[in-house]
Chains A and B, each alone.
Chain A
Amino acid sequence: MWRRIIYRLALIVPITFSILFITLFLFYTLPGVHVLDSRELQVGSERELILTLRLQEQQNPFAYNRGLFYIGIYAGYLPLRRDHIPLMFHASFHSLCKDIRNPHVMNDYAEWVREQLGDFTSSSGSGLSAHQFVQILKAQNRMEFLAVMQTLDPEVVPPVWKRVVKAPVADDISLLNISWNGKHNIFHSYLNAIFFGDPALHTSSGELVQTKFGRTVWWTLAYTLPALLGGWLIVYVFMLLNYDRPGRLQRINRLTLVVYSVPTFVLATLALVFLTSHRYGVISSLFPFPVFVENRVQGLFDIYRYYGAHLILPMLLFALSPMLLLFRIFHEKMEEVRRVRPSFRYLRHLGLPDRTFRLRYLSRYLLVAGLAVLSNIIIALLGGSLVIEWIFNIPGLGRYLYQSIINYDVPSTVFLVVVFTIVQQVGHILTDLLIDLFSPSSSKTEGLL
């Protein structure tokens, strides 16, 4: 068994690395269209645009690297330093490169963009306004590029722009290019940053990713931990008490189907409107309206102290789905025991006391069935329910992940995905270990049930 566990633990490494790569690939390479609507960047003050550009810098902290992975394969018209361009403008840059078809010049242009972005983020200034910089980044072909250039004073125009406009189509462009990027690639930098903290990863708001994770994880655990443990215990005890009442269990099973047909977000929104809004009589004042202030708390104890009452409703809603799932699993196992295992009747005919049967045999059988979903429960414990956190404005991990993805906060997303992947894999191994440990078939009682 230990050999198998070591083998599976070793497998966590390639699985985590591959998922890290896929995440980076999705962010950097997949978007072939305008990811964020850069056309919308027409309005806004100079200051706002500079802030947006700084955000781009934070979203892509390893852009100074040469490529996404140790080895890179990319279209022939693209330059080697294409990742220097902020994520937001990748699509327009690719269109521009396709039109110019001169990777040597575009390589210089990409380096200039990087330097210029550095000037904006360090507030050193370089004579070009943020508006002008954004306009040129949005150019998708030579004509648009030229049009932006003509709006500027010729003395201010950077020399590299003139080279881009006048660049001839290179004859030596191949269909595909291959490059060896060595250790200076984005994937390697993220590996170092996540596992060795060098360099430290920051969220788009400038906070350390680990700090943000440490803060949000308490909020998620505050409602998931009691909900899952309590829910699991309630269903487990309920099944042990009612195992000899198949009619009742069948009726509840039918009811679970009804609840399953309504998604969690509908139930949660209904609860928010009709149980917390104070607008539909007494029933709508049953629970306090959820308002959570993140800065007020320091840890789990503080969360319960200030927001214990506010968390009851999210807890109940969050517990509902795992409880239904556990009930269905336990019910199926119970039916299986009743239908397939003749020893079930045999033990009862032998005169085994009801209490002994429940606590000694049936409990163990159900426990194993419950453990089969342990890895899912561990993931749910950490990830929480995005929908619940979204509706009740809980500043937990699910909401953090959602906002990271929406805002293209690559460091936060990558960090969270890696953490979730490792937790999920460890959860799977732990589940199998516990099943081995508690399974009736692996002990002296083999064959009794």
Chain B
Amino acid sequence: MKRMKKILSASRGILIWYAGLVVCCFGLCYLLAGPYDLINRCDGQLSFFTTAKCDSGIRPIVVRMNAETLDPRVESLMPPLSFTPDVGFHLMGTDILGRDVFAGILYGGQRSLIIGFVAGALAMVLGWIMGITSVYVQWQRWRFPYSWVGVVVLVSFAFASRMYVFLFFALGWIIFNILTRRTTKNQISTTSAWWWGRWIEWYQALPDLLLLLVLSSAIGQLKISGMVIIIMAVVWPSMALLARRIASEVSRQPFFTQAVRNRVSGYTLWRHYLWGNTSSAFWALLPLVVARIILLESTISFLGMGLPPDVVTIGSMISSARYHLSSWWLIVFSCIFIFILVYPLMKLGTELNRRI
């Protein structure tokens, strides 16, 4: 961890720069653009972030619109640096529906960052847990009672379906379990580890595109949480395979073999030996995964399979540029922003990987 801190301090510039970007998207955007008055004075009372129309109010600094605001006063496809009275400056122009591109980039960027960080963190955690566990089960002394769980499921199923003939199967299974019970304890078996590995590989063989498209069609109207789940479902297997590879390298080291011989507890093996020796790779990969997910999310939105069409994202803005070839501002600013969003993460991840 000390080494990690040292490496992170070397990449301080990128981190500070990115923190600024996050603050801009999550905090400043409400001051810069929004369909409200920041401070308003109605009937002698001060109110904040209100849409009520009063005489004396302080408007957002740039434009009185958010990403989805449709204002009849604003014309469609206005070029950058245009001005609409009572609404504000359109720093980056407007789209075909008259929505402000600058506000779209700020709020769309906010959504991309939320999806990227949440889905990235969840996919990494899930993939890492699965990957490490798939190696750990080889040395696990306590065996998960798969057979007994099977019996419980069978009995529950018999009662749920009112097909009591399954109780005979359950009985047979119990007798089989008792008769084939192993007498030696604490033996090491590679069977579980093999099955874990094959299961992860099989999952990864599922076509990504199919999973993405069918899941998003199946879930229907997507919210940010739905998007996070779909992306996580696609990304975690590759993380699990990577964690498995690193963890199996660790497990071949002499110190690990000695720890197994010394009968170190399962928790310590998992937590201190496997996680402890793979955590630096985890932190180094995290920025790369977040960057990959931001790109993935924008691609899905571009294809029209992401968030609903009325929700503005970077991908949906670029998609609309295809139909309005003369409006260069629809694509150029989105493109620059996506680069600003992704490049520092790529740089940070590569730097961390190189040093680790």
State the A residues within 8 Å of B (CB). 15, 18-19, 22-23, 26-27, 30-35, 73, 76, 172, 174-178, 257-258, 260-266, 269-270, 272-274, 277, 279-280, 386-387, 390-391, 401-402, 405-406, 408, 413, 417, 420-421, 424-425
Q: What is the CA–CA distance of A32 and B299 in the complex, to the nearest angstrom? A: 26
**Residues of B contacting A387 with CB < 8 Å?**
299, 302-303
Task: Tell me the smallest distance from the CB of B45 to a CB of chain A, in Å.
Answer: 43
- CB atoms of B205 and A15 under 8 A apart: yes
- CB atoms of A27 and B214 under 8 A apart: yes
Residues 13-26 of B, flagged 1 when their CB comes within 8 A of A and 0 if not, give 00000000000000
- In B197-233, the 8 Å CB interface with A consists of 202, 205-207, 209-211, 213-215, 217-220
Known: A33-B220, A34-B220, A405-B217. A262 touches B161 (CB 8 A): no
Asked whether B280 is an interface residue with its Cβ less than 8 Å from the other chain, the reply is no
- CB atoms of B339 and A402 under 8 A apart: no
Q: What is the CA–CA distance of A424 and B339 in the complex, to the nearest angstrom? A: 32
Residues 322-356 of B, flagged 1 when their CB comes within 8 A of A and 0 if not, give 10011010010011001100110011001000000
- CB atoms of A262 and B335 under 8 A apart: yes
A-B contact pairs, 15 of them (CB 8 A): A30-B215, A33-B219, A178-B161, A257-B343, A263-B299, A264-B299, A265-B302, A272-B322, A273-B322, A273-B325, A273-B331, A401-B210, A406-B213, A421-B207, A424-B205
8 Å CB contact of A26 from B162, B163, B214, B291? B214
- CB atoms of B209 and A401 under 8 A apart: yes
Which of A19, A73, A273, A421: most chain B CB closer than 10 A?
Answer: A273
**Residues of B contacting A272 with CB < 8 Å?**
322, 325
Q: What is the CA–CA distance of A272 and B215 in the complex, to the nearest angstrom? A: 30
Asked whether B110 is an interface residue with its Cβ less than 8 Å from the other chain, the reply is no
Q: What is the CA–CA distance of A35 and B216 in the complex, to the nearest angstrom? A: 10
8 Å CB contact of B218 from A31, A279, A386? A31
Asked whether B295 is an interface residue with its Cβ less than 8 Å from the other chain, the reply is yes
**Residues of A contacting B303 with CB < 8 Å?**
386-387, 390, 402
Known: A387-B299, A405-B210, A417-B207. A261 touches B202 (CB 8 A): no
Known: A177-B161, A263-B299. A269 touches B215 (CB 8 A): no
- CB atoms of A417 and B218 under 8 A apart: no
Q: What is the CA–CA distance of A261 and B319 in the complex, to the nearest angstrom? A: 18
**Residues of B contacting A26 with CB < 8 Å?**
210-211, 214-215, 218
Nearest opposing residue in chain B for A265, CB measure: B302
Asked whether B321 is an interface residue with its Cβ less than 8 Å from the other chain, the reply is yes
8 Å CB contact of B322 from A174, A177, A391? A391
Task: Tell me the smallest distance from the CB of B292 to a CB of chain A, in Å.
Answer: 10
Known: A262-B338, A390-B303. A22 touches B218 (CB 8 A): no
- CB atoms of A280 and B343 under 8 A apart: no
- CB atoms of A280 and B328 under 8 A apart: yes
State the B residues within 8 Å of A (CB). 157, 160-163, 202, 205-207, 209-211, 213-215, 217-220, 291, 295, 298-299, 302-303, 305, 315, 318-319, 321-322, 325-326, 328, 331, 334-335, 338-339, 342-343, 346-347, 350
Q: What is the CA–CA distance of A386 and B305 in the complex, to the nearest angstrom? A: 13
- CB atoms of B217 and A406 under 8 A apart: yes
Task: Tell me the smallest distance from the CB of B166 to a CB of chain A, in Å.
Answer: 9
Nearest opposing residue in chain A for B162, CB measure: A174
Q: What is the CA–CA distance of A261 and B336 in the complex, to the nearest angstrom? A: 10
**Residues of A contacting B331 with CB < 8 Å?**
266, 269-270, 273
- CB atoms of B295 and A263 under 8 A apart: yes
Q: What is the CA–CA distance of A402 and B298 in the complex, to the nearest angstrom? A: 17
- CB atoms of A174 and B209 under 8 A apart: no
Task: Tell me the smallest distance from the CB of B31 to a CB of chain A, in Å.
Answer: 28
Nearest opposing residue in chain B for A393, CB measure: B322
- CB atoms of B160 and A175 under 8 A apart: yes
Nearest opposing residue in chain A for B163, CB measure: A178
Known: A263-B295, A405-B214. A269 touches B321 (CB 8 A): yes
- CB atoms of A273 and B321 under 8 A apart: yes
- CB atoms of B202 and A277 under 8 A apart: no
**Residues of B contacting A280 with CB < 8 Å?**
328
Q: What is the CA–CA distance of A424 and B217 in the complex, to the nearest angstrom? A: 25
**Residues of A contacting B334 with CB < 8 Å?**
266
**Residues of A contacting B326 with CB < 8 Å?**
277, 279
- CB atoms of B218 and A270 under 8 A apart: no
Task: Tell me the smallest distance from the CB of A175 to a CB of chain B, in Å.
Answer: 4
Nearest opposing residue in chain A for B159, CB measure: A175
Known: A257-B347, A261-B291. A22 touches B206 (CB 8 A): yes
Task: Tell me the smallest distance from the CB of A80 to a CB of chain B, in Å.
Answer: 14
Q: What is the CA–CA distance of A402 and B214 in the complex, to the nearest angstrom? A: 10
Q: What is the CA–CA distance of A27 and B350 in the complex, to the nearest angstrom? A: 39
**Residues of A contacting B338 with CB < 8 Å?**
262-263, 266
Which 7 pairs show the lowest CB-CB distances between chains A and B?
A175-B160, A261-B343, A277-B325, A174-B162, A33-B220, A261-B342, A405-B213
Q: What is the CA–CA distance of A421 and B211 in the complex, to the nearest angstrom? A: 13
Task: Tell me the smallest distance from the CB of B308 to a CB of chain A, in Å.
Answer: 11
**Residues of B contacting A34 with CB < 8 Å?**
220
